[in-house]
Amino acid sequence: MAQVLHVLLPGRDRLAAVAGFAEWLARGTRLPAAVPGYLVALSEHFRWPDGALPAAALIRQSVAGDAGDALWLSADPAWVQPEVNGARLLAIGNLALSVADAASLVEALAETFEAEGMTLHVGDAQHWQVRLPAYVDVPPFPDPEDALGADLFEQLPKGDAGRQWRALLNEAQVVLHNHPVNRRRASEGLPPVNSVWLWGAGALPAWVECGLAHIYSDDLLVWSLAHRADVDVHARADFADGQGASIDLLDLQDVQPSAFERDWWPAIEARLASGTEVRLAFADGVRVAVHKRHRLRFWRKA
């Protein structure tokens, strides 16, 4: 079996200044483009029963093992910046919350969710889940990558179907606004956790399939998918330029250009030199295959 390394990357423009990488990219073979997005790239490697990805149930099962057959919804901690004509989502998760602070915030929100028949849980500090009653109809919510940077109110469900959820989110923001955790964060120059973002509804899928041998990622959703698919998964710091016939995935979708050039591109290039085919999936939907033999395409310039 041939050795293939799939690499998930941010948009090409963020890595354009990495000279050696840009040269290989120019010499590679362009593959059919995909719809932009991180979850789209993941769906190229993982399969589950028809429907949207039930991220909340998968994460809940991975971190707590109690997803069961219940309906779950992610309610991840978020930072919303008020503006003259609305409010903008600046962060979802990744807010450097400690487990203790997350537990304190969730405890404060418990009554708000319980009033709607829902139970809010801490999965880990950056990922919270809501257990929903079976009778609740959940409208579609944008995934975090689509909601980030957008106007908050434009992303919320409209009409009568969304009224309950808009009211729930508004009440959660009121509770969080003056919470002691946020007062302390402000004194430390940290952004507030002043909202939650609802997304990834569904029940735990009966199965998840994956054709990969090894996965290297720091994303809890990827770990949760790998656990459900019974695939070997590691922190990406464990990735090395090893040998062997396997199909691996390296998740660098949030990598900074300096870290990519210093830490990751040398290891990827070493895989190329050993004969591994490297398949690059960019967040903008571009797909490129690069192989050792492509170094001979010297006429293709970056």
Helix, strand, coil % in the chain, rounded to nearest 5:
40, 25, 35
From first to last of its 302 residues, the chain has per-residue pLDDT tens of 579 999 999 999 999 889 889 888 888 899 999 999 999 999 999 999 988 999 999 999 999 999 999 999 999 999 999 888 888 999 999 999 999 999 999 999 999 999 999 999 999 999 999 999 999 999 999 999 999 998 888 888 888 888 999 999 999 999 999 899 999 999 999 999 999 999 999 999 999 999 999 999 999 999 999 999 999 999 999 997 655 568 999 999 999 999 999 999 999 999 998 899 999 999 999 999 999 886 656 556 55
* Strand-pair partners of 202: 72
User: What's the one-letter identity of residue 184?
Assistant: R
Cα–chain-centroid distance for residue 238? 19
In sequence order, the β-bridge partners of residue 7 are 250, 280
- Residue 216: its H or E element: strand 214-216
Tokens encoding 288: 């490129």
Residues 6+ apart with CB under 8 A from 82: none
Q: Are β-strands 71-83 and 127-132 bridged in parallel, bridged antiparallel, or unpaired?
A: antiparallel
Res 302: pLDDT:
55
Query: Quick one: which of 145, 146, 139, 189 has its CA closest to 169?
Result: 139
Which residue intervals of 128-205 are DSSP H helices?
A: 144-147, 152-155, 159-177, 180-187
117: number of CA atoms within 13 Å, CB side? 9
3-state secondary structure of 79: strand
Q: Find where tokens 């959660």 sit.
A: 172
pLDDT at residue number 153: 84
Give the integer Cα–Cα distance in Å for 300 and 302: 7
Model-wide pTM > 0.85 = yes
- What are phi and psi for residue 216, nearest 5 degrees? -125, 110
User: What are the start-end ranges of the H helices in the chain?
Assistant: 19-27, 38-43, 55-64, 99-114, 144-147, 152-155, 159-177, 180-187, 220-229, 257-259, 265-273
> What pLDDT sits at residue 250?
97
Looking at residue 297, its pLDDT comes to 62
Number of separate helices (H) and strands (E) present in the chain: 11, 14
Among 58, 42, 81, 55, residue whose Cα is nearest residue 198? 55
**Dist CA 8 CA 152 (whole Å):** 28
Are the C-beta atoms of residues 143 and 200 closer than 8 Å to each other?
yes
Cβ neighbours for 292, distance < 8 A, ≥ 6 positions apart: 272, 273, 274, 275, 276
Residue 241: predicted pLDDT: 61
Residue 202 and residue 74: Cα distance in Å, rounded? Answer: 9
The token pair that represents 186 in the structure block: 């402000």
Neighbours of 193 (CB within 10 A): 23
- The single-letter code of the amino acid at 58 is L
